[in-house]
């Protein structure tokens, strides 16, 4: 049985990393960083949008900016049947 993450990659999900800068509630002039990483769909990023909505609704630190990096680790086109096995030694 393939892992859940592997199955998500095969259905188009790629590893997404977001660097979130937010203002501290007790010191609004001070910015702090939070790094979020999960598998998500490019270009709409529904998982990230859901997380950012949770942040706005439940957390005190107002968002300053979000920088996103996305990489599809495995695409269905990259999987190929192998006819043989080669061994060294």
State residue 11's pLDDT score.
85
Q: Are 60 and 8 in contact (CB under 8 A)?
A: no
Rounded distance, CA 39 to CA 42, Å? 10
Going by DSSP bridges, is the β-strand pair 31-40/14-23 parallel, antiparallel, or unpaired?
A: antiparallel
Match 């892992």 to its residue by tokens: 3
Q: Which residues of the chain have pLDDT under 50?
A: 73-74
Give strand pairing partners of 68: 18
User: Per-residue pLDDT tens for 35-56?
Assistant: 999 999 988 999 999 999 999 9
Six-digit token string for 49: 């949008």
Give the three-state DSSP class for 29. coil
pLDDT at 7: 87
Sequence ranges of the domains in the chain: 4-74
């Amino acid at each position: 049985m393939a892992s859940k993450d592997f199955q998500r990659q095969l259905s188009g999900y790629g590893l997404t990393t977001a660097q979130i800068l937010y203002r501290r509630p007790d010191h609004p002039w001070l910015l702090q960083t939070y790094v979020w990483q999960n598998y998500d769909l490019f270009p709409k990023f529904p998982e990230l949008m859901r997380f950012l909505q949770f942040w706005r609704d439940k957390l005190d630190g107002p968002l300053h900016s979000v920088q996103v990096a996305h990489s599809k680790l495995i695409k269905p086109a990259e999987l190929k049947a192998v006819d043989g096995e080669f061994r060294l030694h």
